[in-house]
Amino acid sequence: MPDREQAYRQIFENNRRWVAQMREGRADYFDHLAEGQSPDYLYLGCADSRVPANDIMGLEPGEVFVHRNIANLVVNTDMNAQGVIQYAVEVLHVKDIIVCGHYGCGG
């Protein structure tokens, strides 16, 4: 089996284990998430793979709405970022917007 194929299989296996773990802790975990989202926070951060937004804030999926890009930039010509902000504020009614940067950023 080629290395890439093995890596992809491992990703899917990791996902299967994660799903089982989540259901073990709470049988209706995914049903609850499917009902919708109402996060209190919009997180604008970098794309650095070492900084997963909900993990560093101790939050679960559905508790933070996330937009990530290179160097956590918010530029008025970036329609994607503007759309995320507008949706978070006008539709999700987030209470706080967090712009997060850090030293030694790798993206």
46 is catalytic: yes
Q: Annotated catalytic residue: which of 16, 17, 32, 102? A: 102
Q: Annotated catalytic residue: which of 48, 67, 68, 96? A: 48
105 is catalytic: yes
Tokens of 22: 């989540």
The candidate with the shortest Cα–Cα distance to 88, out of 71, 104, 64, is 64
> Angle 85-88-93 (CA atoms, 0-180°, nearest 5)?
135
100 is catalytic: no
17 is catalytic: no
Q: Annotated catalytic residue: which of 23, 26, 50, 93? A: 50
Active-site amino acid positions: 46, 48, 50, 102, 105
